[in-house]
Amino acid sequence: MKILVVGYDGGDRRIIDVMDMPNMQHFMQSGITPNVTEDLCSRGWAALTLGVHGRESGAFYTKPVLGSPGEVTQSFGMADVGLLPNIKPIWQAWVERNLRVGVMNVPGTMPATKVNGFFVSGAGGGLKTSGLASLPEDAVYPPDLSQLILKEEYVFDRRFSVSNITDWDQWFNMVIEMESKRIDTYIAAAKQYQIDAGFLALMGTNRIQNLAMYEIEQIIEQNGEPKSIVQEGICDFYKKLDACFGKIMDSLQPTYQLVVADHGQAPYLHSCNPNVFLKRAGFQSAATEPKARLGNLAKKIGKNLLPGDLWHKVRRRHINVVKSFSKPDIDFIKTRAFSERYVPGIYINDDERFGGPVKIGTSDHEYLLNELIETFNASEEADIYGLSARRYRSNYPTAKHENLLPDIWIDHPDSVFFEGRGEFVEANPNYGPIKSLKSVSRDMWTGVKGRHPLVIMSKNCLPFVEEVGVTDLASIYNVAVKVAQK
């Protein structure tokens, strides 16, 4: 095998350094580890597989729906890439260089691509999964690969919020089983289809870290020594995951080895809702529609008055009703600026993109930008929590998807996550030991994405790294292409 890329969702060196992971640690010591920084706006997996930022591909974690202020979408798939000239997935670049390829579980790749080799799609990019073991239709190519999938008992995905699991050991075992079966399936498929180049993505790290990052931070502070049953389970997970890494490298013996992550991992300490600041500073008007206001009030009352377990059951079983009660409390006819969940920035409610009151390109538009930045940076919360606003969209006037960019970017610590609810800045009430898994209602509980993804390459990749200049995930794509050309 010529080249193998193994991706870990949320892979973070801080975690690997303290865990019992001799295979991965030896690889780090013998290989090269470029320092990579991401903005957590562009989708990491898409940057790795397409070689461009979301500004060019449209692959954002969350993006506004133009013409519909207050509406966002997380949808993105490789089908969208076909509409973009001069952008091709890494597996297409490999095939064009006469390599047989094997791709498995990369998010946003439904339906499976027809390649010279094999392809198993991954979730993500807006594709919702139930967390069950079965694969969706059109997730496998060629069709006869399905026989191997069934034989190896391949697991498509596991997400805690839909698992109904209340026992830590059961959850750890389920996640490592998913990864172990994926590794075994990939090795078998790689040998059956005699591939030259491969890309395998593993999701288990993120599933554990988003839920239990508080406990992981404790393990880091304790230099890798677990001091509770939960922490012992976490350490055992990483030990078994490392064994999986050693198994795939020993079995396939790729000449060039790359370990990558779509983002790093950070503790989820605070949430930020810039809409609160915008209302307070007079840049935004609250909605006056009774239905919207009553809906948000009903959600608030339900969450505060119902017992925790009952509220989470209501939320899970009636998600569409809860979503209808979660619309932003904003009057977009009068509002001059707004923010969206998952986006660390502020959008000007201009007439061209959102039908808002601000006429783009006028002196009023320019004055509003300056006033917003100045007022935000002068706020008490910006000073306390290390937040800083700056121009963003105007820096990329030629980007294909510049109209999806926030006008203002908010630099922030990794531990601050941008929500569409709550106060301007507030502590995450869930950060701490999880007393009962029954109380956990979402996957992202004590952990969030970090800006520094894990990147390790075998030492023979050095000439390509020096030629490309690896600084972000998109540039790793160029390394993988140049390796194929050799």
What are the tens digits of pLDDT across the range 419-475? 988 999 999 999 999 999 999 999 999 999 999 999 999 999 999 999 999 999 999
Q: Which residues contact 484 (CB under 8 A, 6 or more apart)?
A: 2, 3, 93, 94, 97, 99, 197
Domain 3-52+87-266+449-485 has CATH 3.40.720.10: yes
Q: How far apart are CA 333 and CA 322, in angstroms?
A: 25
Characterize 154-168 residue by residue with b for buried, 16 or more Cβ atoms within 10 angstroms of its Cβ, and e for exposed.
bbbbbbbbebebeeb
Rounded distance, CA 81 to CA 94, Å? 17
Cα–Cα distance for residue pair 375/424, rounded to 1 Å: 14
Alpha helices, DSSP H, located in 341-422: 363-377, 380-385
The answer to whether the CB of 448 falls within 8 A of the CB of 268 is: yes
pLDDT averaged per 10 residues, the chain (length 486): 98 98 98 95 95 94 93 84 79 96 95 95 62 69 93 90 92 96 97 98 97 98 98 98 98 98 98 98 86 51 52 48 59 96 96 96 95 98 98 96 97 95 96 95 96 98 95 96 91
Structure tokens at 137: 């239709």
**In this structure, are residues 237 and 44 in contact, taking their beta carbons and an 8 Å threshold?**
no
CATH number of this structure's domain 270-287+333-447: 3.30.1360
Q: How far apart are CA 19 and CA 77, in angstroms?
A: 34
Cβ atoms 354, 332 nearer than 8 A: yes
How far apart are the C-alpha atoms of 450 and 414, rounded to whole Å? 5
Q: What b/e readout covers 354-391, taking b as 16+ CB neighbours within 10 angstroms? A: bebebeeeeeebeebbeebbebbeebebbeebebebee
**Hey, which bits of 87-147 come out as E strands?**
101-106, 117-121, 140-141
Q: Domain spans of the chain?
A: 3-52+87-266+449-485, 270-287+333-447, 288-327
Amino acid identity, position 193: Y
Q: Which residues contact 207 (CB under 8 A, 6 or more apart)?
A: 9, 158, 159, 160, 175, 443
Partners of 259 in the beta sheet? 6, 456
In this structure, the number of other CB atoms found within 10 A of the CB of residue 194 comes to: 10
Tokens of 21: 């992971």
Tell me how crowded residue 305 is: count the other CB atoms within 10 A of its CB: 9
pLDDT at 306: 53
pLDDT in tens, 107-138: 989 899 999 999 999 976 544 444 445 677 78
Beta strands in 173-252 (DSSP E): 197-202
Residue that the structure tokens 């880091």 belong to: 220
For residue 85, the SS3 value is coil
Q: Collect all residues with Cβ–Cβ distance below 8 Å to 298 and sequence separation of at least 6.
A: 325
Q: What are the beta bridge partners of residue 256?
A: 3
